[in-house]
Amino acid sequence: MHSLNDLKYDFLQYIEIEKGRSALTVRNYDHYLNRFLKFANTDSPSSVSESIMREYRVWLNRQPARKAKKGQPADTLDKKTQNYHLIALRAFLKYIRKRGVQSYDPERIELAKTSQRELDLISEKDLNNLLNAPDVGTKTGLRDKAILELLFSTGLRVSELCSLDRDTDFRTGEISVRGKGGKIRVVFISDDARDAVKKYLNERVDIDEAMFIDHSPRALSRMKKEESVRLTPRSVERTLEKYAVLSGIAKKCTPHVIRHSFATDLLYNGADLRTVQMMLGHASISTTQIYTNVTNKFLRDQYEKFHSKRKGKD
């Protein structure tokens, strides 16, 4: 007799080993499934019914997103977060059925409708100001310049950038990176990014294998103990926040915003959606299609700008 808790344990091992999901993804799936199992209050796969599922959807929709401030009502979970719970549950139920265990049909779980996603973008002027903000007269400034140029040149996720090692060969103008799900893809490096990385690495005298490291006094003491001081994604995020302020950029500015800029820049200049999908490492082209809303507006603006000029001449 299979129990839901035992099957959950097997499922988490399955997505980690067979599917190659990251430790963070496995931890999130565990959290989402634990919430459902606690709500359902059953350990029998066959007892997961339509009524339990409907009540769970209502319960999810009413859950507070975080603790409310004193005297103020708490925000409820947004539709996107609710869908994360449902996606995890659907994947779990599919796995159960694959194992030949009778339970609720995962195809009957419909995701909540969400509002159309808005992209966080910065202007070309702001982007140029950001890229030129680091003081390249310092080692930290050289590092930050290399980070910014590399992010915009490749569209790397911040986790992918932080996982790069200093022995990565940039001479061919392309490198292989391991993205989500352990999938390998090729990204291309601009001359500016390659030069910036080279200048930074030439200033390094340490033996840390990481391409980008912490140069703070506290990190130096860790280096003496032969500990790695590889930059974390959060450190890179803080770095971008700092340069956004220095550049006078009022909008939110994160590594993912630079990734958005990389994608829209490709589309503006004629790249097709499938190419952008491959360069970003998206598993599904539907994820890449969020950029078409931005580029469609750009094309309309260009049409109105240039077509109206032609009509004026006629």
Give the residue numbers annotated as catalytic, written as ranges.
157, 180, 256, 259, 282, 291
| Residue where the block lists tokens 């359902």 | 40
In this structure, what token pair is assigned to residue 109?
A: 């779980």
Report how far residue 299's alpha carbon sits from residue 135's, in angstroms, rounded to the nearest whole number.
36
**Quick one: which of 53, 73, 77, 52 has its CA closest to 64?**
77
d(CA 274, CA 55): 40
Nearest to 231 by CA among 149, 134, 166: 166
Quick one: tokens of 269?
């200049």
Cα 1 versus chain centre, distance: 39
Name the strand (E) or helix (H) holding 162: helix 158-162
